[in-house]
Chains A and B, each alone.
Chain A
């Protein structure tokens, strides 16, 4: 008895499988990005895409590079640990091009951001009633922002 007397149908089936396999591998190669799976089940390039934004806040170290004198004044007082850009606003553009002078922060509004009274603030945090305490815009006359004396 011949075991493989008729095998054409098997060949056809094999060919079909082969075509399917080639199509699958081809499509996968076309559709899956080359960096997929480098770190995990996602495109590795997405890390770079997320990290590609321009920087808006220059950061404390960049400020101190040029303004070391102010850093020296601020060293020991109550405002010592506040980042420059907390009051002065985002200044990466100024750090990149010092000619772009930043705007001086408005004393009343900038001080009030932190120092308006609120019972939710931690105990011991200095607050003041701005309307009763002094003329608007005059905070820094008595309390220099870089060296606030109380």
Chain B
């Protein structure tokens, strides 16, 4: 066998490298197919986000009830995938708002007629962060972000170690009292993969919640984000949440 010269050797190696890289890329493309559960649903074609319009929320708690019914969450008053808080800010002490959430707002709120305070409702749920701390800390890969931007829990792999509960800056996780694994908002993954709205959006009577697909250029979410002053919760945590709040007061955390 003749000894190849330097030029031929480099050419051959170069070709091999390029081919391997493109083969790997092609394989990635083939491998990122569709989740088996929802035929016709391409997870890579969506990037889900939620809009919460604080100005529309009336604190009826329908979302909290619907979430528990839809997802089989324990009705005990300690477990919530979504809940509603009522803020009451006294102008004499604006740094210490009174925050109430009786049973997460499940039964609505006790009547409040106090005058002279700044008060509003804030619905909370998993922010489905693009750079989620809960995903990073999970020691067994049981918490992950799907290709369509939903943070989910693999209940078969979750050990129930609670790292993610500590890591979540928004308090959106809890241990499921039945399975003893981490539980959280799935953005109604069983619904959105079948073309339905999430349960909370479905029942919200005032349109305070909106589920949008950021990858769909025709989705009204783009128009909303363009025309409203939206905020995310705790932006200083650099979690890049995909739950956007319209008309959010700075005191909300």
Instruction: Check A56 against B199 for contact (C-beta < 8 Å).
Output: yes
Decide if B31 is an interface residue (CB 8 Å cutoff): yes
Chain A residues closer than 8 Å to B203, beta-carbon distance: 57, 83, 85-86
Produce 1/0 per residue, A46-80, CB < 8 A to B. Answer: 11111111111101100000000000000000010
By secondary structure, the A interface counts as loop
Shortest B89–chain A CB gap in Å is 11
Given contacts A50-B189, A55-B190, A120-B121, list 14 more A-B pairs with CB under 8 A. Answer: A38-B31, A41-B141, A44-B35, A46-B144, A46-B152, A47-B152, A50-B153, A53-B71, A55-B70, A59-B196, A86-B202, A114-B205, A120-B120, A122-B56
Shortest B110–chain A CB gap in Å is 9
Chain B residues closer than 8 Å to A43, beta-carbon distance: 141, 154, 156-157
Instruction: Check B71 against A119 for contact (C-beta < 8 Å).
Output: no
Shortest A41–chain B CB gap in Å is 5
Decide if B197 is an interface residue (CB 8 Å cutoff): yes
Decide if A132 is an interface residue (CB 8 Å cutoff): no
**Residue contacts A-B, CB under 8 angstroms, 18 given:** A43-B157, A46-B153, A47-B35, A47-B146, A49-B37, A49-B156, A50-B152, A52-B190, A57-B199, A81-B205, A86-B203, A113-B62, A117-B111, A118-B109, A118-B112, A118-B113, A119-B119, A120-B121
Size range of the chain B interface in the assembly: 35 or more
Known A51-B193, A81-B207: A113·B108 in contact at CB below 8 Å: yes
Decide if A82 is an interface residue (CB 8 Å cutoff): yes
* A122 vs B88: C-alpha distance when bound (angstroms): 14
Instruction: Check A57 against B146 for contact (C-beta < 8 Å).
Output: no
Chain B residues closer than 8 Å to A48, beta-carbon distance: 35-37
Chain A residues closer than 8 Å to B58, beta-carbon distance: 114, 118, 121-122, 125
In chain B, what residue has the closest Cβ to A40?
Answer: B144
Instruction: Check B207 against A119 for contact (C-beta < 8 Å).
Output: no
* A130 vs B153: C-alpha distance when bound (angstroms): 43
Chain B residues near A (Cβ < 8 Å): 31-33, 35-38, 43, 55-62, 66, 69-72, 86-88, 108-109, 111-115, 117, 119-121, 141-147, 152-157, 186, 189-191, 193-194, 196-197, 199, 202-207
Instruction: Check B189 against A46 for contact (C-beta < 8 Å).
Output: no
Shortest A46–chain B CB gap in Å is 4
Instruction: Check A42 against B141 for contact (C-beta < 8 Å).
Output: yes
Contact of A39 among B32, B155, B204 (CB under 8 A): B32
Pick the 7 closest A-B CB pairs, nearest first: A46-B154, A42-B144, A48-B37, A47-B35, A53-B190, A51-B37, A120-B119
Contact of A47 among B37, B60, B86, B204 (CB under 8 A): B37
Chain B residues closer than 8 Å to A107, beta-carbon distance: none
